Amino acid sequence: MSMTRRKALKTGGGATLLSLLAAAGWLKPGDALAQAWNKSAFEAKSMDEAMKALGGNAPAQSKDITFVSTPDIAENGAVVPIGIASAIPKTESIAILIEKNPSTLTANFDIPPGTDPAISTRVKMAQTSNVYALVKADGKYYVASKEIKVTLGGCGG
């Protein structure tokens, strides 16, 4: 696979490269990540844009990705608990995308070997929306979605 350096930095490959550099002691972890912050992906306004910026074009639907302790209805959009677990072998990263937020991509977690491919966090949701879990495993992308109804928005106001 041939990738220019710039391209490599933009995609997941960049994150791996940087984490390798970090492991080799060339860069401190914090510095490496700060440099690699994927601006174009986080500023994407639509699902397609965000998926493209992450390199996850046309991901396959997967039943092996589950939402754990995630509500169907969130009373307060400012604090919506989201838990995502992937049963796909060799899961490398898990991204949370919220379709109807001002910016779609919410978070992208890199899962090094030895770490369970399951994370939970809390997000903000502007309105009722589909939430997507985009999983990269063994170089391929998989996706699962869940609709969360929001009674009170968490952005603006």
Partner 1 sequence: MPDPMKIRATLVGDSTEVKTIISHEMETGQRKDAQGKVVPAWFIQSITATYGGKTVLSAQWGPAIAKNPFLAFKFKGGAKGEKVQITWVDSRGEKRSDEAVIS
Q: Which residues bind partner 1 (CB under 8 A)?
A: 15, 19, 22-23, 29-30, 33-34, 36-38, 42, 78-81, 83, 98, 101-103, 105-112, 114-116, 118-126, 154-157
116: three-class secondary structure by DSSP: coil
Residue 147 CB, shortest distance to partner 1, in Å, is 17
Residue 120 CB, shortest distance to partner 1, in Å, is 5
Closer residue to partner 1 in complex, CB, 30/89: 30
Cα 151 to Cα 116: distance, rounded to the nearest angstrom = 32
Cα 80 to Cα 45: distance, rounded to the nearest angstrom = 20
Amino acid identity of residue 23, one-letter, is A
Residue 142 CB, shortest distance to partner 1, in Å, is 18
Q: Over the range 22-38, which residues count as b (16 or more CB within 10 Å of their CB) and which as e?
A: beeeebeeeebeeebeb
Closer residue to partner 1 in complex, CB, 60/108: 108
